[in-house]
Amino acid sequence: GRLAEPVQIDQRLGYAERLLHLGAVEAAARVVIATTGKLRLYDAPRCLRPLREIEAALGRLQAPDVRIQLAIALAELVAEVEGDLDGALALLAGADALAARFEPTQIGLVAGVRGTLLLDAGRIAEARESLLDNLVRERADGTPVRQLSVLLDLMGLELLDADPTAALRWVEEGRALGLDRYASYVDFERGSAHALAGRLDAAMAAFDAARAGEINTACGVSLGLRALSVCRRVGADEAGWRTWLDGLLASGTGRLVADARALLEGWAAGAVGEVPVGSALQRVDRLLLALA
């Protein structure tokens, strides 16, 4: 059902809390870290509490791989829940030092997270530098999936910087990796670039392709918003996309979902450009909705 994902997350957090009470700190850390990927859709504050407990319980040099992942998850949550970008970047600096000493293959991952946090904060030049550093490392020794992850962030960065041509260059590199399982994410960014450039038929074709595949709720919400903007610009029926988007919004409770609802309300009132949003993803949503 629609609430399956938040229920599963709630169960995992409860399991992690029980592990903490039993003293199984590393096991609890791994469970919570694996849960934070949905933090913007569901209960970010609840994720932060056990991570803080784990941070205090882990020994200074115990399980460096876990400490790196813990610092990354904490950084994302500190930025998300507390709005403390400086604190988040300090956590990533600690993760960087640990990675340099114990897990060099994780240096690129830390750079990528730093880039996404800077991008969400609107610091585009710094975000680009960090993401390009990550991409160089992933091209050298990362997996194709990790390369694509960075490329998707770079596509979003160029869209936020209002450069659809640059975004499409990253799209082509992403498509060349041949990762069919993740094609919907590339189609989503490809459609967004075409929409920003005014190629609306190409945009809608790409959005339809993205919807036909597998895409997570966060990107799916943005896909729905951006497709609605194109429907409005070409005078197409919005009902199908609106129904699909409403289904996604019904399953989430976190900030991304709240911001998406606020964008829809602002759009209906003709004031979408004034709606505050907290992520780069939704700043692009707002940009495209404003064009309609």
Q: What is the mean pLDDT of residues 168-178?
A: 97
95-142 tens-digit pLDDT: 999 999 998 988 998 999 999 999 999 999 999 999 999 999 999 988
> Per-residue pLDDT for 4 more than 80?
no
Pure H helices in 161-254: 164-176, 183-197, 200-212, 217-234, 239-249
pLDDT at 57 over 80: no
Mark out the alpha helices in the chain (DSSP H runs): 4-21, 25-35, 44-57, 64-77, 85-102, 107-120, 124-141, 144-160, 164-176, 183-197, 200-212, 217-234, 239-249, 255-268, 280-290
Per-residue confidence (pLDDT) for residue 40, from 0 to 100 = 53
Of 50, 86, 100, the residue nearest 70 (C-alpha): 50
pLDDT at 60 over 60: no
Q: What is the pLDDT of residue 211?
A: 97
Q: What is the rounded average pLDDT of the residues 22-39? A: 71
pLDDT band of residue 1 (cuts 50, 70, 90) is: very low
Per-residue pLDDT at 155 exceeds 60:
yes
Distance between first and last Cα of the chain: 33
Chain segment 185-209, per-residue pLDDT in tens = 999 999 999 999 999 999 999 999 9
Of all residues in the chain, what percent carry a pLDDT higher than 70?
Answer: 89
Supply the pLDDT for residue 291. 97
* pLDDT at position 274 over 80: yes
Q: Which residues of 55-78 are buried (b: 16+ CB within 10 A; e: fewer)?
A: beebeeeebbebbbbbbbbbbbbb
Residue 221 pLDDT class (50, 70, 90 cuts): very high
pLDDT > 70? residue 30: yes
How does pLDDT run across 79-90, given as a tens digit for each residue?
Answer: 988 889 999 999
